[in-house]
Amino acid sequence: MLTRLAPENEAELTDLLERCHAAARDNSVPGKDSLPEGFSGTIGHFPVYFPEEIAHAGGLLPVNILGGGNKLELKHADARMGSFVCSICRSTTELGLNGTLQDLTGFVTHPICDAAKHLAGIWSRNLPEQLAQILYLPQNVNSRGATRYIAAEYQRLRADLERKVGHVISDEALRRSIRIYNENRRLLRELYAIRRDEPWKVSCAESYLLMRAGTRMPREEHNAILDQAIDLIRHRSLPAQDKPRVVFLGGFCEQPPLEMLETIDDACFVVDDDLLVGLRWFTQDVPESGDPVWALAESFVERSAASPVQHDERKTKEGYLMEMMRSSKADAAILTAAKFCEPGLDEQLAWSKHLDQAGIQYLVLEFEEKMTSFEQMAMQVETFAESLLFALA
Amino acid sequence: MTTEILEAAPAGTVAAADFDPRVEGQRLIKDWYAGLAEAPRRGQHVANVFVMGNAVEILRAFDFQLVFPEINSLQTGVRKASGEYIRLSEDYGMSPDVCSYVKADVGLMLKENEHPVGRIPKAHLAIASNMCSTFIKWAEIWERWLKVPTFVLDLPGQRATNWRVRPGDAQHAADSRWVEAQFRDLIEKCEKITGKRFDIDRLAEVEERVNQMVFHWNNVMALNRMCPAPYNAMLDGLTYIGIMNVYRGAPEGVEFMRRLERQLKAKVARGEGRVAEERFRLLFSGTPCYVSMRRLVELFETWGGVFAYSDYLTFAAGGMDAGELVYDTSRPLESLAEITALAAQRGLSNQFFAHERLEQQIRDYAVDGIVFHGIKSCRFVSSGMADTRDYLNKRLAVPSLYIESDLIDPRYWSDAQIKNRVDAFFEALNQRGVPPPGDRKTIAAEAGRAA
Ligand code: SF4
């Protein structure tokens, strides 16, 4: 259930959110005839982070491959991937095998976990005409050669994409894309600042829909949507409600169903989260001058967020949870993990033990993108919120 | 090429008949654990390392004693104690869906490092590579609980299908540069921890011994192309690879591998196989189930089925089973980086683009069938298995069997179910018929030459 809107802006914001919701429900990718202007193909990429600027500059529309949601029926993937693998990997395989993603020019996955790495092999065996690969983003960003290595890996990707599109991806085009993406990240930071400062104005589910829309449309277009939406949200005049402030963790890869976020919104203000954190991976602008590939590589090392699937000596997992809670003035945390997601489950336990020690309340939830029943979860969240309000009173 | 028997093995002095690899392997593992238990008293530095991507050469140059937590965990399985360690970790809150090796290790921590073989010392340093992503999450647990400084060694793997990296080409140079930069940082870290200066000559010495071990190891692998196969890759092979890992770069390791090769060569010369009558040559893809490995192998061997090759022997030795993986000891550090980058890609491609390697190995070892062993809690080996199997079924007329259990969690071993599947597999193989034993020798030998 989405938040009620102020009358003067209601229709416009509702329209925008409806557009975003439709985009989130659509698993297909545009074929040759329906590509947005200026694009000649699509690059699908798996979570968490992918340097979209490189594809965008080459005229390939970056599309985040985020699994199949809770409306997809698995007909082929069951026989190709064990039931012990997380849902997003299985449904992504299904979308590859059932033809939904057959128009992709390429598919890129990352060494975030072993299940995700296997997707490149599955892709190359079943969709051999697509460029299928693992972009080896490093798990060691603390050694001195990291930026240089990432830059080399990006240059390799750039050359592969150039061969696919048949033209050079110039530095100028890359700098232009970086500018567009910087603007996008700036707008997302603004959206999250509203969540933090005036959480009654925009719910987690709404913000998620607005953000998710960017995963399958040109960022120029997404910037326009965000710009308009943020303006409308700022002018909303909704009363602050008596709800506890919580952070939501566990949405860095497999996507929780929208209904789950709405369930949490009903009882809590979610003042920060790690949903689609790859879109907000850079905490500051990527430099817009100089060597653009170096700028992207260096930003990965020096100006990036954190996730359970990125090792970085400078950012312990407990450290970034506590920082998230501190900066968003959260009272408690909702610690989720996707079913069968080993890194997520490991982190969920570590976080909960840490919060036990710190005397901070939390709720542990396990989810699957394909879940359709939320009654029990609603009861858990409600009880949790009530106990928080009671404790805070 | 990769498993071709290399010429000019150094002459040995010990008669092949004096050597029982199983007994000798057990003795060496026992000695190693005894040495570990003594390490704190002797004031030795200890490092936790994994079997894939571990920079053991550098650690040995600093005299670190090596703890292999994967081997600790599998030993709880072999000694039928894993259930207790796993239960402890699940009671603590670990999910049933995560790696059972990690859970056994968490159980070990909860038991204050009391292991069935003795006390495991606390590490001063841990090295985790990205070869298996779980390594990193595992090392983060030590960081968190035991405050062990961790070094994550990032080893880029095969990026795409038909990925051809040759020593010295631009891609290899870029990857090697990255690995070398990390090794230089690791060396600094080791210097700080141990208070010792890095000695490049020590590194060269260790590398020389690794070269010798790899040389014999390649020959050992290649000997199993012979029909009958002199050893079972998933039983005897597990002892061999244990020594390859634990004693990598140590004199005892060189000696073991040298004697092993001689012993197996003598066996081949006598025409002696692992089983009395080898009827089926098989390839095992996946990891062992250490709680019931003997039983599993028995189910196959009673039908005359022998595992001539297993990809486990490739990836669980970090990919160090190719003839070209030889350190140039005149430039120890650069060469270590170059070979590590190649070996890591080899080890990783065995999993993430498994179809390419398996197609080759099926030919090299002239196998009649493949057995895929899926492990629910090990996504590294299991996530792509069913799809790989489907791909190979469609392209090659090699029969295959898929079975599922766990590395060490006894709850997932279902004897009757697995036996039924194995029996049905052999009945199907019998119906297909296999070449008569006389022809098999020729096939395996030709495959060896062609590779
Ligand atoms: S949900 Fe977890 S296990 Fe699945 S692909 Fe993402 S990180 Fe890997």
DSSP string, A332-389: EEEEEEETT-HHHHHHHHHHHHHHHHHT-EEEEEEE-TT----HHHHHHHHHHHHHHH
Q: Domains of chain A: which residue ranges?
A: 29-169
What average pLDDT is seen over chain B?
Answer: 91
Q: Are B403 and B374 in contact (CB under 8 A)?
A: yes
Residue B442 confidence (pLDDT)? 53
Tell me which chain A residues have a C-beta less than 8 angstroms from the C-beta of B171: 156
C-alpha to C-alpha distance for B261 and B278, rounded to whole angstroms: 21
Pairing of the two strands B114-115 and B118-119: antiparallel
- pLDDT per residue over A212-231, tens digit each? 999 999 999 999 999 999 99
What average pLDDT is seen over chain A?
Answer: 95
| Token code pair at residue B69 | 């937590």
- pLDDT per residue over A156-188, tens digit each? 999 999 999 999 999 999 999 999 999 999 999
Q: What pTM value is reported for the model?
A: 0.94
Asked if ipTM goes beyond 0.85, one says yes
Give yes or no for B400 touching A (CB within 8 A). no
Residue B443 confidence (pLDDT)? 55
- Interchain pair B181, A144: CB under 8 A: yes
Closest Cα partner for B247 from B17, B444, B31? Answer: B31
Candidate of A342, A345, A346, A371 to mutate for ligand 1, largest count of ligand atoms within 8 Å of Cβ: A342
- pLDDT per residue over A40-64, tens digit each? 999 999 999 999 999 999 999 999 9
Distance A344 CA to ligand 1 centre (A): 7
Q: At residue A332, what are phi and psi to the nearest 5 degrees?
A: -155, 175
Distance A46 CA to ligand 1 centre (A): 10
Chain A interface, best mutation among B334, B352, B395, B396, by max A CB count within 10 A: B352
CATH number, domain A29-169, options 3.90.1300.10, 1.10.10.370, 3.40.50.11890, 3.40.640.10:
3.40.50.11890
- Structural domain of B309: 2-450
- Interchain pair A84, B97: CB under 8 A: yes
Alpha-helix runs per DSSP H in A134-170: 146-165
Please name the residue of chain A whose CA is at the shortest distance from the CA of residue B357: A121
Chain B interface, best mutation among A48, A76, A88, A125, by max B CB count within 10 A: A125
- The string over B14-43, giving b where at least 16 C-beta atoms fall within 10 Å of a residue's C-beta and e elsewhere, is eebeebebeebbeebbeebbeebeebeeee
Mean pLDDT of A333-352: 97
Helix (H) or strand (E) holding A271: strand A269-273
For chain B, how many structural domains are there in total? 1
- pLDDT per residue over A228-287, tens digit each? 999 999 998 888 889 999 999 999 999 999 999 999 999 999 999 999 999 999 999 999
A112 Cβ below 6 A of ligand 1? yes
User: Residue B6 above 90 pLDDT?
Assistant: no
**B:176-215 residues touching chain A, CB 8 A cutoff:** 177-178, 180-182, 184-185
